[in-house]
Structure 1
Amino acid sequence: MQKKTVLVTGSTSGIGLAIAKAFAQQGYNLVFNGLETDGAQTAAAVAEEYGIDYLFDPANMLDPEALRTLIGQAEQKFGGIDVLVNNAGIQYVSPIVDFPEEKWDAIIGINLTAPFHLIKAVWPTMKNRQFGRIINIVSAHGLVASEFKSAYVAAKHGLVGLTKTAALEGATCGITANAICPGYVKTPLVDQQIAAQAQVHQISEKDVVEKVILAKQAIKQFIPAESVAAMCLFLASEAAATLTGASLSIDGGWSAQ
């Protein structure tokens, strides 16, 4: 059987890297994407470790033409994208009245508009093959809101809606679309938030984790990136062929409250 190919955006660090490694372990061809300066080296190291074929492209999520080029290169090399994981995202925290408009535009662009462009670009080949898996890494903030995160919450709620629409349109041609909604995953970006909040609130990093970061989760633990990756593997599998349009929480009970 021909190997399947997965594209994971934002896959050279954090959650995206964990997802990429999980698919690599299963023998998928990998299309890596990321803006880190060592992104190409990270992609090469994963490919070598698991003995897979790969492509790395540092396409900026704010550049629709670069995204179309990314898909074109991947289709030329591998014949098509079987699994699209929209993972890349950014965050900014501020009251609405002070929220910088350029930050709003960037957050909506990367977290919502980029997935639209990528879904649109992979759709024709997926439809022609009568197979496709679209997996959007959303957030608990796609289901619930928090203060001072207007752009992020709006984008993630929008991504849930886009997921449902793609699921309905793909139902007759073998394409499924689902959203994974994690709570806080301990990544380098979250580590930075913890340190910054400790300084601002003049409390310990331990108190930041317990009283600020994980305050809304019933299970006071970070979500392992590997758990998100495992859910992606399931959604990409034949076992999930009839699971579509779902928003799957892995948030320690946050959205159950």
Structure 2
Amino acid sequence: MTAPSADKPLAGRVAAVTGSTSGIGLAIANALAEAGADVALNGFGDPAPALAAVGAAGGGATRVAFHAADLSKGPDADAWVKAVEADFGRLDILVNNAGIQHVAPIEEFPPEKWDAILAINLSSNFHTIRAAVPGMKARAWGRIIAISSAHGLVASPYKSAYVAAKHGVNGLTKTVALELAETPITCNAICPGFVLTPLVEGQIADQAKANNMPQDQVIRDIILASQPSKRFVTPESIGAMAVFLSTDAGANITGTMLSVDGGWTAR
């Protein structure tokens, strides 16, 4: 394994990031590549631009690959981990980022949307962790990171499935951390507030239309109403946090929910 260095602290490590063809997942993949890790991507978007971006972030020294999988299906999520291990020879850093959203009052919430959100946002974490832990134990090193949400700590109306799933992710994170506490494997969750991603941009447009107001007013008075900083979290800051947790500096941080939310959950 390539020895890490000050500018490449993750050299020799292999990272796998779900939902990484765009948005937060791609920013995390880029940050891990910049830190020297080889990176396995996954997602429903066109993989070509993501492969090029992560390869460039790694300065040409990072190996990057894409493995397709429908993470809403347990066997596919399990097979994805096994494919990464077979292709790269190991899996050291698992970042569960894939997620979807739907907003509706509970009495109008479509059951199929509930099932899909729980499958992708929560159950896929269980399946990938279950598949990755044996190899991490055998190699006596590992980092498991969930991209949860401020909604894993507090609730908002009309997001029953998302809030339930993210609370579940945080509970799963704590449980796995306790089970692995005596091993060199950590398990943590990053809980962002609102990040300006295509998913959130869609919510802004929908809210502007529904409330007949300009988008900048929607951002301040509706989207960021609960975020005291009134600033979106950047995807790059989430990537930097994932890198930190993956280095030796994060070796004794486990079972923790790390809020990056502009003060949202300080209230």
Q: TM-score, normalised by structure 2?
A: 0.93
Alignment of 1:64-143 (within 5 A): 64-143=74-153
Q: Once structures 1 and 2 are overlaid, which stretch shifts more, 120-129 or 44-53?
A: 44-53
Corresponding position of 2:236: 226
2:147–2:191 CA contact under 8 A, matched in 1: yes
Aligned to 1:250: 260
Q: Tell me the matched-pair count.
A: 256
In structure 2, the partner of 1:20 is: 29
CA RMSD of aligned residues (A): 1.1
2:153 aligned partner, one-letter code: L
**TM-score calculated relative to the size of structure 1:** 0.97
SS class of match (2:100): coil
Residues 209-231 of structure 1 deviation map (CA, whole Å, 9 limit, x = unaligned): 01100000111000011111110
Query: Deviation digits for residues 17-61 of structure 1, max 9, x if unmatched?
Result: 00000011112110000101x224422442255211122012111
Given candidates 215, 238, 252, the residue that maps to 2:248 is 238
3-state SS, counterpart of residue 122 of structure 1: helix
Q: Identify the residue that residue 182 of structure 2 maps to in structure 1.
A: 172
Greater CA drift, 90-99 or 41-50: 41-50
**Code of the aligned partner of 1:43:** L
Q: Which runs of 4+ in 1 moved over 2 A?
A: none
SS at match of 2:86: helix
Q: Match for residue 47 of structure 1? A: 55
| AA in 1 matched with 2:149 | S
Task: Supply the distance in 2 between the matched residues of 1:176 and 1:214 (Cα, whole angstroms).
Answer: 32
C-alpha distance in structure 1 between counterparts of 2:47 and 2:86, whole Å: 21
**What residue is the counterpart of 2:17 in the other structure?**
8
Bigger drift between 38-47 and 23-32 goes to 38-47
SS of the residue 2:85 aligns to: helix
SS in 2 for 1:73: helix
Distance 1:57 1:126 in 2: 20
Q: Could you tell me the percent identity over the aligned residues?
A: 53
Distance 2:85 2:48 in 1: 19
Alignment gaps of 5+ in structure 1: none
Cα distance in 1 between the residues matched to 2:153 and 2:53: 36
Question: Does the 8 Å contact 2:192/2:261 carry over to 1?
Answer: yes
Secondary structure, counterpart of 2:196 in structure 1: coil
* Residue 162 of structure 2 is aligned to residue 152 of structure 1: yes
CA distance in 2, matches of 1:41, 1:213: 29
For 1:206 and 1:229, the matched residues in 2 are separated by 26
Secondary structure of the residue aligned to 1:178 is strand
CA contact (8 A) 2:54 2:64 kept: no
Residue 245 of structure 1: CA displacement? 0.3
In structure 2, the residue matched to 1:60 is 70
Deviates more, 1:68-77 or 1:174-183: 68-77
Specify the SS of the correspondent of 1:35. coil
Answer yes or no: is the 8 Å Cα contact 2:227–2:264 preserved in 1: yes
What secondary structure sits across from 2:16 in the alignment? strand
Output the CA distance in 1 between the equivalents of 2:172 and 2:149: 14
Q: What one-letter code is carried by the residue in structure 1 that aligns with 2:186?
A: T
Equivalent position of 2:40 in the other structure: 31
Letter in 2 for 1:46: V
Aligned equivalents of 2:91 and 2:147: distance in 1? 17
1:71 counterpart letter in structure 2: V
